[in-house]
Amino acid sequence: MNAPQETKETIQVKADPTAERYVEGKIISVQGPVVDVRFISEAELPGIDYAIMTKTYAGKNVTLMVAEHLPGVVARCISMHETMNLQRNSKAWCYNKKIQVPVSEDCFGRIMNAMGEMIDEKAPIVGELRDIRTLKTAYPVSTERGGSEIEVMDTGIKMVDLFFPLVKGSKTGVLGGAACGKTVVILELINNIVKQRSGACVFTGIGERLREGYDLYKELEDAKLLHRVMMAFGQMDQPPGARREVIFAGLTLAEYIQQQNKDVLLFADNIFRFVQGGQEVSTLLGRVPSETGYQPTLASEVSEVQERIRSSDTGGSITSFQAVYVPADDYTDPAVVAIYSYLDGVMSLSRDMVQRGLYPAIDILKSSCANLDTSIVGKRHFNVAVEARKILTKLNDLKKIVAIIGVEELSPTDRITYFRGLKLQNYFTQPFFVAEIFTGKAGEYVPPAETVDDVDAVMNGDYDDQDPRDFYMMGSLQKKFGPRSK
């Protein structure tokens, strides 16, 4: 929005009859990202979440978002931009609108921030402007997935396809502490699913590093997938308001694609940073935190995001993958618990597995998935997954015994289970396409049917003569060793 012309009137309609109506205010306080703007009367005071525009001394546009109303007809705002050089007594104006982002087919391959501004140094997008805080859908929301409507999406990642079948319209979380590989798993899912399917993708970078955003852009460009991905970034160097609001910009893009009767994959990395941004905003506004230190509105803020990720009965679906940072590896953290309650599947990453070089470092015993059901994946797939989990659980117990008395002291049955468990543990490691530059190994895509056959064969003893080390960082067993039968 351009700055209005100087005028003595507080409320003015421009000479152009199609011009927008706006109200003027005056900045009376700037305290970091918190800016107070005074208006003339209660009638002119913008509503909560409305956007207020102003300029710095250097002429840079600054967007403010109304967070609360104070006595004296003052709107306390959170800035979406840096407030350096923003002066007291500067003019501010409000068009009585919330923050809006442009939506159109031209958004594919482009990167915007939480305010809808293009940050990829390319031409601005001309499209329909939509409020990021308003749910716009022309279709009734679907609350249940009928048996005939369930569609499982293949990922090519062996562990994910077997234990965490991804159903269209579901929510899946990738939980883990720092440096456990959340972003790598998310990027591999983007690479594999977008390549295999004709749907569209929206990637939302929430409070992550600039380097990661640039690397993602180049990887998508090199893989020729950029034309099928919309991106919204609110990164680590931006104010907390921008980091919090960028998820709503991503949701707005996803809803636009959904209304075109298309299926859309929504990737959020990292959803915990959204909660963290809200916590910072709450602290800046002087609100009393809860007993756990988080904002008192934690549950409602998380639900505001999660309830917009849904399918419709007559339109497309939104399937989400959310990386969730776990602070200090504490899975009882209130923010993690609040996010966890909305997820259909949870992939918990293990630091112990990272240290042993087992990638993807998904700990099956700490993870869960509601979609692993016979009505969704079939009886054979379900039985193989359950039996594999039992063997991996038994392996975890036997490792403690072996560390004390050695493998030779195990009973014949336990020894067989132990070595088959080691083979399965190594089999579930996999070279990723997005990690080729780091590992030097070509990525592998394994169809789910082959994964089920391979795991079944290992558990039946078809590969008992193979060393467990031969199963590390590989694709399909049939491709490497050939089909076997006892």
Catalytic residues, by residue number, are: 182, 208-209
Q: Report CA dihedral (415, 416, 419, 420) to the nearest 10 degrees.
A: -150
Residue 357 sits at the vertex; the CA angle it makes with 322 and 192, to the nearest 5 degrees, is: 40
Q: Which residue has the tokens 């990720």?
A: 309
Reading the block at residue 209, the tokens are 């590093």
Residues in CB range of 153: below 8 A, 6 or more apart: 166, 167, 168, 193, 197, 319
**Chain centroid to CA 424:** 29
Residues in CB range of 126: below 8 A, 6 or more apart: 102, 104, 106
Closest CA relative to residue 164, chosen from 155, 272, 420, 150:
155
Residues in CB range of 170: below 8 A, 6 or more apart: 319, 320, 344, 345, 371
**Chain centroid to CA 349:** 15
How far is it, in rounded angstroms, from Cα 200 to Cα 294?
A: 35
How far is it, in rounded angstroms, from Cα 243 to Cα 251?
A: 14
Assess contact for 195 and 225: CB atoms under 8 A: yes
Hey, what amino acid is at 208?
A: E
- How far apart are the two ends of the chain, measured CA to CA in Å? 72
How far is it, in rounded angstroms, from Cα 169 to Cα 311?
A: 6
